[in-house]
A and B are shown apart, each in its own frame.
Chain A
Amino acid sequence: MVKRENERIPVSQQAHVVDKPKDLTNIGGTVSVQINEKKITVPLGTTILEACQLNQIHIPTLCHHPDLCIAGVCRVCVVEVEKMRTLQTACSFPIMSPIKIKTSTEMVRKARRHIIDLLLSEHYGECYSCFRNGNCELQNLAKEYGVDNYTFGHVQSPRYEVDNSSAAVVRDMNKCVLCKRCVRTCIDFQEVGVLEAIDRGHDTHVGTFLDKPLADVVCINCGQCINRCPTAALRANDPSDEIWTAIDDPKKHVVIQTAPSPRAAIGEEFGQEPGKSFTGELNTALRRIGFDRVFDTNFTADLTIMEEGTELLTRLKKALVDKDQSVKLPQFTSCSPGWVKYIEHFYPEYLDYLSTAKSPQQMFGALIKTFYAKEENIDPADIVTVALMPCAAKKFECNRPEMYDSGFKDVDYGLTTREMAKMIREAGIYLPEMPKSQFDDPFGDASGAGLIFGATGGVMEAALRTAYELITGREVPFENLIIEPCRGFEGVKQASVKLENCVEQYKFLEGVELKFVVAHGTANAKIVMEMLKNGELNDVHFVEVMACPGGCLGGGGQPIPTSAEIRKKRAEAIYEEEATLPIRKSHENTHVTYLYEKFLTDGPCGKLSHKLLHTHYVKRGKYIS
């Protein structure tokens, strides 16, 4: 199988990347340079920026992002390199000889200030009403370089219309600084290819194919571009005003479900270090804000495992016992709405491989307005369901016309972690100091298996814990239920477990090597789809795909900034919390059992669950007319 390093190199840059020796002592592989007064030794090919960062020398940057390839377009990182006539950009200058660098001379400072002034002269800045106020790289640069007047003028009124067409991503090119991070995110990092620089000179702007509204092109709503934009030119479609209205309306019963990833990241919005979950604190804060019930999306994550797992077993049985040639295997997960839209656009002929199970968010919505409404005796028309998600695509998902199975809009609003933090601040609450509290019944606290859905490989791990046990009657043969091959951030992971001594019902699986593949980020999803096309997945049974790098914890609705290191810490927070939970297998979640006894009485993949918990997909294709 294709092995790709986690560090992806876009095709356009492969020729320019210098291999760095892993071992620094490797003779000939290193070079000594002098930065300001300091002499240091770095591997050949290290950029000036990297060398400075390793030595705590600050260089301002704007177009540079640790997740993306080098661009060198903004020029704010210029430094002086001895014997070179002009200033050099630190981010794109690979050190190949023993040079002397100065990072803060008069020339450097003046040039940087000029560059910032020039950027501001084109930037429609109105910081008070801006969602990046206080977390904006341009604003920070202006502060850092003491901008106290507009040397080259300032834009007085917006030049571009705001593109509000998409349910997920809002584009306001008046705030764009043309750093092209979004372009590199979408083309190189996600390989969707929605955004590029259009036109030339003063007219240059970041646009879509033929400058169509975002809703009319192949955007999968992943929101990864938002997380990497240094300014407010890209933001998520924020429904918080509507949610406040619902909360303030005494007739409305407003319930919220919270996904695991926002809980592991929302602390960052309150100045906390990445890597700590605030689940209990968040529950209390949400109640104080005025939500009538706080539910755990992990409940429906557990339910997803039951439904998707049953679906997989049914497919396996059809394929192995009935020898039905039409059965599609491997089965692909369907919980990531960005991934679903990706396959609808780019591989519509493979839609039958997708599980028909809805995502946990949508399952929950459908249950709240049916099962819960009945249990609590509330008119579903009065219920407003909010979903706190790490994801921008969830906003699109809840607006899909297929998502009205309860007879109402199943999920009224998808809210991102950032927007939730904003609401919490607005309510005058400092999250880290909230007392902890539990989730509300009838869905209660979920299993740890649902919790790890937040990290790439989590769905697979949860599914295996349940499937293996159902099939063999024993726990998965991994210490502490930790299925190591599912964890970590490698782009495409592949592993297998052998099924032995199966219980009577699943004897047909005796001796089968259950093979699975895990991919995260649509660039890796593309690799997997090409493998499927080439027949390389013929012996694989189950594939997990998440549209966002790192899985949901790296979602497009998560706090800004993001980097591989931050995502790793969020994953640690999730796995740490998981290890402390008493129940760690989906099928042992008693609330799920209760639901199947009381409501979905014909069991997983039964008639009612097909109506409420499963869906169908649209063949979209990628041609735009």
Chain B
Amino acid sequence: MLVLEKNALSEEIESLVNQFGKERSALLQILQAIQRKHKHISDFAQQEVARMMEIHPVEVNSVVSFYSFLCTQPKGRNIVRLCQTISCDMAGKEKVEETVQRELGIKFGQTTKDKRITLEFTNCLGMCDQGPAMLVNEKVYTKLDPETAINILNEIK
């Protein structure tokens, strides 16, 4: 990372800490804000958060590693999470999975070359009666079939 980038990131984290406070309960909000903007929380960002909140970097790392919506490596601009839990699975998740993989030319767990989309699995989204369900960034799509899924994917930038 360039020094300038580092400084910018530090400033950003500082303003987040000012906004949310130094209480431990603020940690998740701060991490989510970083994740939302940068699509990942870098090693450096974790250590800066720790420094400014006066906790240890490993504690931040512990929280980041616990939540699957937080990650340490950069991902695509959009994250598509397909539910893999049993109801959706029985409602036809596999077909959607295969089509999506073929259409994008990547497997689940991977990111497209142009960094447009990262494919991931998730567990139950609470939409079991309307499966298969899929989460695109923060929006839920239900009752998918291969065709609707592709249409949704094609629309995101």
Contact = CB atoms under 8 A, between A and B. Distances in A.
Nearest to B63: A196
Q: Which one of A196, A207, A217 has the greatest number of beta carbons of chain B within 10 Å?
A: A196
A209 B57 contact: yes
Given A193-B55, A195-B58, 5 more contacts: A193-B57, A193-B58, A194-B58, A198-B65, A200-B68
Contacts of A194: 56, 58
14 contacts: A187-B56, A193-B57, A194-B58, A195-B58, A196-B56, A196-B62, A198-B61, A199-B65, A200-B65, A200-B67, A209-B47, A209-B58, A623-B47, A625-B43
A506 B157 CA distance: 79
B110 interface: no
Interface of B: 24, 43-44, 46-47, 55-59, 61-62, 65-68, 72
Contact of B58 (A12, A199, A208): A208
A12 B24 contact: yes
A196 B43 contact: no
A201 to B, nearest CB: 9
Interface of chain B, main secondary structure: helix
A137 to B, nearest CB: 24
B61 A624 contact: no
A197 interface: yes
A194 B43 CA distance: 15
B59 A196 contact: yes
B24 to A, nearest CB: 7
A625 B65 CA distance: 18
Given A193-B58, A209-B58, A199 B24 contact: no
Contacts of A198: 61-62, 65
Interface string A376-408: 000000000000000000000000000000000
Contacts of B58: 193-196, 207-209, 217
A210 interface: yes
Contacts of A199: 65-66
Q: Which one of A193, A199, A217 has the greatest number of beta carbons of chain B within 10 Å?
A: A193
Interface of A: 12, 187, 192-200, 207-210, 217, 622-625
Nearest to A198: B65
Nearest to A197: B62
A187 to B, nearest CB: 6
A311 B44 CA distance: 40
B65 A624 contact: no
B51 to A, nearest CB: 9
A196 B47 contact: no
Nearest to B55: A193
Contacts of A209: 46-47, 57-58, 61
A210 B59 contact: no
Contacts of A207: 58
A186 B75 CA distance: 33
Contacts, number: 46
Contacts of B67: 200
B24 A196 contact: no
Contacts of B65: 198-200
Contacts of B43: 210, 624-625
Nearest to A217: B58
Contacts of B56: 187, 192-194, 196
A579 B43 CA distance: 53
Contacts of B66: 197, 199-200
Q: Which one of B44, B47, B61 has the greatest number of beta carbons of chain A within 10 Å?
A: B61
Nearest to B47: A623
Q: Which one of B44, B47, B62, B66 has the greatest number of beta carbons of chain A within 10 Å?
A: B62
A98 to B, nearest CB: 34
A208 B56 CA distance: 11
Contacts of B24: 12
A554 to B, nearest CB: 22
Contacts of B61: 196, 198, 209-210
Nearest to A625: B43
B57 to A, nearest CB: 5
Nearest to B56: A193
Nearest to B66: A200
A192 B44 CA distance: 19
A200 B68 CA distance: 9
Q: Which one of B56, B68, B72 has the greatest number of beta carbons of chain A within 10 Å?
A: B56
A86 B58 CA distance: 34
- List 7 tightest A-B contacts by C-beta distance, closest first: A193-B56, A196-B62, A196-B58, A209-B58, A209-B57, A198-B65, A199-B65
Contacts of A192: 56
A224 to B, nearest CB: 15
A416 to B, nearest CB: 25
B62 A624 contact: no
A208 B46 CA distance: 13
Q: Which one of B43, B58, B61, B62 has the greatest number of beta carbons of chain A within 10 Å?
A: B58
A619 to B, nearest CB: 17
Contacts of A195: 58
Contacts of B57: 193, 209, 622, 624
A194 B67 CA distance: 20
Contacts of A622: 57
B130 to A, nearest CB: 26
Q: Which one of A194, A199, A208, A623 has the greatest number of beta carbons of chain B within 10 Å?
A: A623
Contact of A193 (B44, B46, B59): B59
A187 B24 CA distance: 14
Q: Which one of B24, B66, B67 has the greatest number of beta carbons of chain A within 10 Å?
A: B66
Nearest to B48: A623
B25 to A, nearest CB: 11
A622 B55 CA distance: 13
B95 to A, nearest CB: 28
Contacts of A193: 55-59
A32 B61 CA distance: 44
A573 B67 CA distance: 50
A209 B44 CA distance: 11
A197 B62 CA distance: 6
B59 A624 contact: no
A143 B44 CA distance: 47
Nearest to A12: B24
A198 B72 CA distance: 13
Nearest to B67: A200
Nearest to A191: B56
Contact of B72 (A210, A217, A625): A210
Contacts of A623: 47
Contacts of B46: 209
A35 B103 CA distance: 67
